[in-house]
Amino acid sequence: MNSIKFSTFVFFDTETTGLLREDFHPRITELSMVAVNRVDLLNGVKTPRVQNKISLCFNPLSEFHPVAAKISGLNIRNLQTEKDFDENAVRQLELFIRRLNPPICIIAQNGYRFDFPLLQAELLRVKYHSFDFLDCKENPVYCSDSLDLFKEFDDKLIPQNTDESIDRSADESLIEKFPHGRFSLSALSQRVFGSIHVNAHNAEADCIAVIKLIQVLGDSALSWLDSNYRKLSDIKTMYTVNESDPTPLPPDQFPIDHVQSPCD
């Protein structure tokens, strides 16, 4: 694979109605993208001041798994007045990406196994074919998985103790409690920063958590991403959309318009 020196990294996360099961097709309920310039990821561990963001919530037009609703705080009640994932949502994402400095790489935690296949399913529902986002120069936007990155650099993800007065045993205690080999964002944040990231399972907050971890790794992480990427259209959709899956509503119609009676 040819190396591409990406100028912009777009950190991507979703919240959903649940996990894939034989009889259950997940839908996206919240989607966030936080775009950061390459140079700004190399300025220590301070969260970059310059960020371009888009966050959208969606009425999934389908049932929630109760655990997913509890974890994310999103449910059919507080999403009842939101629009579903439709053509306008895709256009918003396209326009957002086309404003960014190319070449562009979208990064998601466990993205190859979950977020990107699910995004492909949502895009297929709207576009009816495999789909690539294009940058302002009409080149494909690529994607990569931060989970694979963190596994590659597991030994570099160590406690960031900047206070020399704190005993080294505190760092060793963190590693013992949150050992190498655990790669959830909560476990990584606990190991590296000593606390879980704020608002876990909020899509934008999860994006910021990945940004902070990549900043710890610095240039070596960005160089790895430059050589470990895929085209979005090469990622297999999470599931085959069929007649049992809801179809997008017309742009001028909201799901709540089709509700026969108020929510209980």
Q: What is the pLDDT along the chain (264 residues), one digit of tens a residue?
A: 799 999 999 999 999 999 999 889 999 999 999 999 999 999 887 889 999 999 999 999 999 999 999 999 999 999 999 999 999 999 999 999 999 999 999 999 999 999 999 999 999 999 888 789 999 999 999 999 999 999 999 999 999 865 544 444 444 444 444 456 788 999 999 999 998 777 888 999 999 999 999 999 999 999 999 999 999 999 999 999 988 899 999 999 999 998 765 454
What are the structural domains, with CATH classification, of the chain? Answer: 8-151+215-251 (3.30.420.10)
Q: At residue 34, what are phi and psi to the nearest 5 degrees?
A: -125, 115
Q: Which amino acid is it at 233?
A: S
pLDDT at 46: 85
Helix (H) or strand (E) holding 42: none
Q: In a 10 Å sphere around its CB, with 0-12 CB exposed, 13-18 middle and 19+ buried, how is residue 109 labelled?
A: buried
Task: List beta partners, residue 55.
Answer: 32
The pLDDT value recorded for residue 168 is 47
Exposure string of 187-204, with b = 16+ CB inside 10 Å and e = fewer, is bbbbbbbbebbeeebbbb
- The dihedral sign for the CA sequence 26, 31, 37, 42: negative
Q: Where are the beta strands (DSSP E) in 73-170?
A: 104-108, 142-145
**What does the block give as tokens for 161?**
């103790």
pLDDT of residue 155: 94
Cα angle for residues 39, 45, 51 (degrees, 5° grid): 50
Instruction: In whole angstroms, give the CA distance from residue 109 to residue 145.
Output: 6
239-246 long-range contacts, Cβ below 8 Å, gap at least 24? 239/20, 239/25, 239/121, 241/25, 241/121, 241/124, 241/125, 244/25, 245/25, 245/62, 245/125, 246/60, 246/61, 246/62, 246/84
Apex CA 113: angle with CA 76 and CA 67, to 5°?
Answer: 30
Which amino acid appears at position 238 of this protein?
M
Neighbours of 161 (CB within 10 A): 15
Whose CA is closest to 42, among 220, 228, 227? 220
- Measuring CA to CA, how many Å separate 105 from each of 129, 141, 257? 21, 6, 38
* Token representation of residue 229: 């990427």
For residue 25 the two structure tokens come to 């097709």
Model pLDDT, residue 199: 80
Task: Measure Cα distances from 87 to 93, 151, 247 in Å.
Answer: 10, 36, 11
